[in-house]
């Protein structure tokens, strides 16, 4: 350890804490995130996001391109296509194997509920940008726990 280095780093830390502290409303939001836990649900993990996992070359296309995201839980796959930019996004999804489900799209301001048809297809209306997660409930009478996807940023 070099003492002068530690002192200089501490000086920088003090400056950063004053000049650009963590906004208080974000600390509050992080505390509130705990309330979103759904301990009964199975998690559908994010396994593919074209934004990060697509070939570099395909990322330099125009702004209108769609983003493809896949989640898996057990034997189920949820493929989602996100379109739109600026203040409005929309989501189109496919559950595989195809099945009916109630899909709750949870986002910062609200929860939007849509139904997946017998082919496992669903689509949202306009959603605001920001954190979002899907929660799938099997139709009444069908077995199995609800499934929640990893949170993504729309």
Partner 1 sequence: MAVDRDDTGQLVRGAAGGDEIAWRGLVARFSGLVWAIARAHRLAGADAADVFQTTWLRLAEHIGRIERPERVGAWLATAARRECLGHLRTAGRVLPTDDMDRLDIASAVGNPTEEAVLAAEQEREDADLAAVLWRAFGRLPGRCRELLRVLMASPPPSYAEVAAALGLPLGGIGPTRARCLQRLRDEMAGIRDGVTPSL
Rounded to an integer, what distance in angstroms lies between the CA atom of residue 127 and that of residue 117? 20
Piece of 1-9, 72-80, 94-102, 138-146 that binds partner 1 (CB under 8 A): 1-9
Contacts of 43 (CB under 8 A, 6+ apart): 73, 147, 148, 149, 150
Task: Write the interaction track for partner 1 spanning residues 66-95; mark x where CB under 8 A is met and - where it is not.
Answer: -------------------x----------
- What stretch of H or E contains 102? strand 101-107
Contact flag: residue 153 with partner 1 (CB under 8 A): yes
Nearer to partner 1, 79 or 100 (CB): 79
Rounded to an integer, what distance in angstroms lies between the CA atom of residue 44 and that of residue 136? 10
Contacts of 153 (CB under 8 A, 6+ apart): 129, 130, 131, 132
At its nearest, how many Å lie between partner 1 and the CB of residue 107?
10
Q: Which residues bind partner 1 (CB under 8 A)?
A: 2, 5, 8-9, 11-13, 15-20, 22-23, 26-27, 29-31, 33-34, 36-39, 43, 49, 51-52, 59, 61-63, 65, 85, 108, 129-131, 133, 148, 150-153
């Amino acid at each position: 350890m070099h003492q002068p280095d530690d002192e200089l780093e501490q000086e920088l830390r003090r400056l950063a804490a004053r000049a650009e502290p963590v906004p208080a409303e974000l600390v509050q939001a992080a505390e509130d995130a705990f309330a979103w836990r759904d301990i009964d649900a199975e998690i559908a993990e994010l396994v593919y996001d074209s934004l990060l996992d697509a070939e570099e070359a395909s990322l330099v296309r125009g702004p209108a391109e769609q983003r493809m995201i896949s989640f898996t839980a057990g034997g189920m796959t949820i493929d989602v296509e996100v379109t739109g930019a600026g203040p409005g996004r929309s989501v189109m999804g496919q559950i595989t194997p195809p099945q009916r489900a109630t899909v709750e799209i949870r986002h910062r301001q609200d929860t939007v509920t849509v139904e997946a048809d017998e082919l496992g297809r669903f689509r949202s209306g306009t959603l605001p940008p920001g954190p979002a997660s899907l929660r799938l409930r099997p139709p009444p009478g069908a077995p199995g726990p609800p499934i929640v996807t990893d949170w993504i940023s729309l």
